[in-house]
Structure 1
Amino acid sequence: MGIFCLLVGPFALSFNMNYPDEMYYRDAAVEMMRNGDYLTTYLGSGELRFKKPILTYWAVLAGFKLFGVNAFASRIFFLLAGAATVGLTFKLSKTLFKKEKIAAVSALIMAANPVLILSAGRSIPDVLLVLTMTLSALGFGAYLKNDGPIPKWAPWALYSGLALAFEVKGLPAAALGGIGISYLLFNPWKRTSLKSLIHIPALLVSLFIALFWFLAMWKIHGPTYLDSFLGDQVGVRVASKSFLVFKHGLIAVGLLIAMFIPWVLFAIPQVKYSISKVWKENPQFAGFALLWALAILGMCAMTSVMYERYLLPVAPVLAVYLGWILVKGEFESRKLGLKIAALVFLILNVILFGGGIFLASKGHAVWAILFLILIVLIYVGRLIWKGEKLPKAIAFSFLLIFPGYTLFTSLISFPHQGQQLSEFIESADQNFGTIGFKGNNHTSSKIRMSLYPETRLTNLEKIGWQEQVPEFKTLIIEDSFYDSLNQEKFQILDQSVNWSSKAIPDLINAFGKPEFDSILNKTGKKFYLIQKKP
């Protein structure tokens, strides 16, 4: 868990990579900080938004409250959720099998899951959903283990995990939970009695957690908020064409396999023997894992737009199942294949490290990340050389790709527009009050966060935005819209400029040279801070 945070942290805790949907949660959290209403969620334009439950917004808000309103704070709890998912995967495996080896391999598989890593670097619901569903899976696992009494914490984990997941994403969590509970009651290998599932205190607390925000919104805003929520959960998410369902189903199967590469490849030599052996050992959990896999594939097939992150909620359960198969198939005895996989990732990291040295020599301050990468490279190289702990070498070298990647993204994307413009606004001898914004709304979210609390940023409408311009003394406007204004009425106070993707080769070649600024200004995307002339 610590290594996950250490190696994914440089990639996750900055805006080197920005996912579009993050703006909804950052904007709402900033507005919560501003008005003290921690239940109602708003867009950057001031409109109400009820498409997702409250827990993701609160995760961003908690970061802002503890660490200030900045990029690090907006993502820290999502990174920690990713690390906690790795820990819960270990705990789930240990609960089921009581074998350290299976648990360790399962945790390594989950730590090196690319979808988990990417989700841990985004302030959107997916990593919180997999964390809470894994907590629930821990409860399911306690009911499905072969021996011993059901632990007292099992119903609490099962129901509270589902309740929290419902407050993260809504109906998908309820669907997986309903399928899992039905399986406990009716699977033919180890049926769970209804009496042992009806734990009144856990059910009451979990129902309160699951329904609290929904009841609060009903009381504050009336039943109309449900139209927005259900429209997002069902209306726009569900595909209606048979071909689209078939297509998304195939894509989901391919992505589900891909997210466990190279681990699935190590299972192939003994796959028939291994699957047969694990099935005989604990058919009830094997059936549960396969049922949840089929359930998530079915849900993904039914979506109108398919994303790889939709598969993430069941990944820890499948990581445990795969780790179980690998250990039973004695995959560590096939050292050549393990060494080749580790070497492939190691070579890729050496290439990224060399690129980082090149950038550092030109003045890009990445020495701290380079030192971290070097330490892990030496450690992984030593493991490969000695042929020891090769699964760990594979997982660590895969994780190492992300700080290596950050060496380049930090050069291309920093400082972001909010940082650039806030420096001028903070130093200016005036109170800007409310500033109007016209441009990419994802950019406005970063600027809005950077200007808090002294300055409020309000997004202008997509259509008819020119009619709103007279309402504001000061605006921030994207260069593509600036030409639509009567420029004689405004003066440019400051501007931000970011790298153009088309000009990246020229900019890297010119980095550290006098001509760099001219190339950047000529090719980059600009946002102007403008003010009406007296």
Structure 2
Amino acid sequence: MHAPCSPVTARWLPWGVALVAAVVFFTNLGGPLLFDEDEPKNAVCGREMLERGDWVVPTFNAQLRVDKPILIYWVMLVSYSLFGVNEFAARLGSSLAGVGSVVMTYHLGRLLLDRWAGALGATLLASGLMFAALSRASTPDALLICCTTAAFLAFVSGISRLRGGSFSGDGSALLRLSETPLPRVSWIAMYAAMGMAVLAKGPVGVVLPLFVIGLWASLVDIDPSSRTPVGLWRGVLHGLGRRLAPARLLRILLSLRVLPGALIVLTIALPWYVAVGLRTDGAWLAGFLGGHNVGRFMQPMENHRGPVIYYLVAIMVGFFPGSVFLPASITSSVLRVRGADPQRPSLGFLLCWIGGYVGFFTLAATKLPNYVTPCYPAVALVTGCWLVRACRLELPPLRRLRVGFSAFGIAGLAVGVGLIVLASTLLKADPWIGLPAVSAMFASTAALVMLYRNNRPRAMACFATGCVLFTTATVSFSAYRASPYQEGPRLAERIAAFEAGAPEPTRVALCGYFTPNLVFYLGRPVEQIGADAIADYLAGPSPGVVLVPGDVFEQIEPNLPEGATVVAEEKRFLRRNGRVVMLSKSPAIVAAAQSEAVIR
């Protein structure tokens, strides 16, 4: 990291970061069972569309699903057709998108900063806990991040072409976006990626990338050397007047080719939105655009709310282990942007990327940690840039490096202890679930030893290797050990055992309780009924079971119909005293349950 890359190293670096990402995202990908709630909902939706041969209308449990657009389901349809309906196939698209995002992050770093910053930033991105989890989950987040990163890469590539191959230029006078349009291939690719992002997760796929680019073009991409009036307020007003002058903003819009770009986005995304609107008489559009976009922004849904600092905390946790150096990295980048640093345009763009997403979703009433993950590539590159400068002795942050490496070991140990406590108290599992702590402790110690020997590049290599090992162990091994304790797959296994050899499937209903995992592992829809309908349901013409949570069962037990028997119980996942009770009146099911109890 001390010297520029040799041609051989430069050629192999992108393959190296792709390999690192593949190790993190594909190790034991199909091993852990799907985790409630979102994973099985999306996986079941893809399966039901496959069974119907329908590529337009998404449904879950035989009901219209308005939560997400179509792209994740199209990816699953292809994956299911190739590999069957299983955990690996459900997650494959997200993992491929995750690898793509990591490789594109490297190329963004190469254009914005340098190859080493891109490689280290890409490695930190791949090992970030939240990003790794989403790249191994059957959710649309990884696809959104991939499309958004592709849009930003197209934009950065276009600006770099205008400036001689580097986003920050070569030290000569820079061509500004307000002075010259983007190259045609760049803006076409940028808007095409935004169109795919709209199919992945809706309007945020185009609104936020354009907001970030506009923020950078208007506030940062301006000559900082021009003189400003003396005095704080006169200087601020003069600066805002220059940056937000209507004529300048109009030139920026024209350079971005917004109108033809909008046509590209609509050409890609609109046909499906029109088709699903027609097929559902507008119900999907009303539910998604009205409820899950405007509604989530205006008021907290499902009690997902948080304070102003919510996303600052979410990024510190979600970007761990790399986040141990994030505060120092952000502070250094802000100071460099405020000065006359040669990399001011690049760092300013990354800070606008981060600030745009964090600021927008801080204003939204509904808050979830995955909302800001599209800015994680920028977070990773800012951190990678700071660490590379530390390796090159451009900074004297020896104490900060010691603190960061120590924090990694301490926090990793805390995660391991927490997992062990979780395993012993809530899961009754073995303590090996805390294995990731070992890699964090070893890597932290090795990095500190190398730092003591004044070998910063090797210290950084130990840290990066430890990040990859820690996250890989967490998302592949610990998740694998914990997932079987979810009650949904266990209940589905019980029901499958009861109906073995039966002429028809067992009817299944849930009362006061729902777990999407049950629908996936049962392989068919289930019903939801009220407590007053339990008697009629159990008295139906074919064998049936009703699942109720323990607290509801205690309330309705005195009024249960004669012959209703508890045929199974399962402990609820991550709840100390929660349980699910399975009721039935079917003689065959009751006999099977009694036989199973005797065998046990």
Q: For this structure pair, what is the TM-score category when the shorter chain's length is used for normalisation?
A: 0.7 to 0.9
For residue 264 of structure 1, the aligned residue among 313, 323, 326 is 326
Unaligned runs of 5+ in 2: 1-17, 166-181, 224-247, 452-456, 589-600
- The residue number in structure 2 matching 1:486 is 560
AA paired with 1:451? L
- The residue number in structure 2 matching 1:292 is 353
Structure having the higher Rg: 2
1:404-457 Cα shifts (integer Å, max 9, x gaps): 5765554454154454355452671014436323157652x22222232xxx23
TM-score by length of 1: 0.76
- Answering whether residue 73 of structure 2 is matched by residue 42 of structure 1, we say no
Structure 1 residue 57, shift from structure 2 partner: 2.7
- The residue number in structure 1 matching 2:143 is 128
- Answering whether residue 501 of structure 2 is matched by residue 429 of structure 1, we say yes
Q: In angstroms, what is the RMSD of aligned CA positions?
A: 4.4
State how far apart, in whole Å, the 1-side matches of 2:296 and 2:414 are.
Answer: 41
1:127-179 Cα shifts (integer Å, max 9, x gaps): 22111111111112113326237777523431122111111111222211332
Q: Is the 8 A contact 2:106 2:122 kept in 1?
A: yes
Unaligned runs of 5+ in 1: 504-522
- Answering whether residue 187 of structure 2 is matched by residue 159 of structure 1, we say no
5 Å-filtered alignment, 1:133-148, equals 133-145=148-160, 147-148=163-164
AA paired with 1:530? S
- Answering whether residue 96 of structure 2 is matched by residue 80 of structure 1, we say yes
- The residue number in structure 2 matching 1:457 is 525
- The residue number in structure 1 matching 2:86 is 70
- Answering whether residue 414 of structure 2 is matched by residue 341 of structure 1, we say no
Q: Percent identity among equivalent residues?
A: 20
AA paired with 1:302? L
Q: Is the 8 A contact 1:490 1:530 kept in 2?
A: yes
Q: Is the 8 A contact 2:443 2:463 kept in 1?
A: no
- The residue number in structure 1 matching 2:547 is 477
State how far apart, in whole Å, the 1-side matches of 2:80 and 2:513 are.
Answer: 20
AA paired with 2:405? A
State how far apart, in whole Å, the 2-side matches of 1:220 and 1:186 are.
Answer: 42
TM-score by length of 2: 0.69
- The residue number in structure 2 matching 1:518 is none
AA paired with 1:132? C
5 Å-filtered alignment, 1:195-344, equals 197-198=256-257, 206-239=265-298, 248-256=307-315, 259=319, 261-267=323-329, 274-276=336-338, 280-328=341-389, 330=393, 334=397, 337-338=400-401, 340-344=403-407
AA paired with 1:214? Y
AA paired with 1:446? N
Q: Is the 8 A contact 1:489 1:533 kept in 2?
A: no
Change (3 A) 1:20 1:30: same
For residue 518 of structure 2, the aligned residue among 444, 447, 458 is 447
1:448 aligned counterpart, secondary structure: helix
1:257-279 Cα shifts (integer Å, max 9, x gaps): 664621224437856764456x6
Q: Is the 8 A contact 2:347 2:382 kept in 1?
A: yes
Q: Is the 8 A contact 2:155 2:190 kept in 1?
A: yes
State how far apart, in whole Å, the 2-side matches of 1:349 and 1:81 are.
Answer: 27
State how far apart, in whole Å, the 2-side matches of 1:62 and 1:73 are.
Answer: 9
State how far apart, in whole Å, the 1-side matches of 2:563 and 2:49 are.
Answer: 35
Structure 1 residue 88, shift from structure 2 partner: 1.4
- The residue number in structure 1 matching 2:466 is 397
Q: Is the 8 A contact 1:422 1:451 kept in 2?
A: yes
- The residue number in structure 2 matching 1:18 is 35
AA paired with 1:160? A
Change (3 A) 1:267 1:420: closer
2:526 aligned counterpart, secondary structure: strand
For residue 570 of structure 2, the aligned residue among 497, 508, 514 is 497
The 10-residue stretch of structure 1 (193-202 or 299-308) with the greater mean CA deviation from structure 2:
193-202
5 Å-filtered alignment, 1:506-525, equals 525=579
Structure 1 residue 217, shift from structure 2 partner: 1.0
- The residue number in structure 2 matching 1:438 is 510
2:525 aligned counterpart, secondary structure: strand
Q: Is the 8 A contact 2:446 2:459 kept in 1?
A: no
AA paired with 1:294? G
Q: Is the 8 A contact 1:248 1:306 kept in 2?
A: no
Q: Is the 8 A contact 2:408 2:440 kept in 1?
A: no
1:236 aligned counterpart, secondary structure: helix
Change (3 A) 1:498 1:414: farther
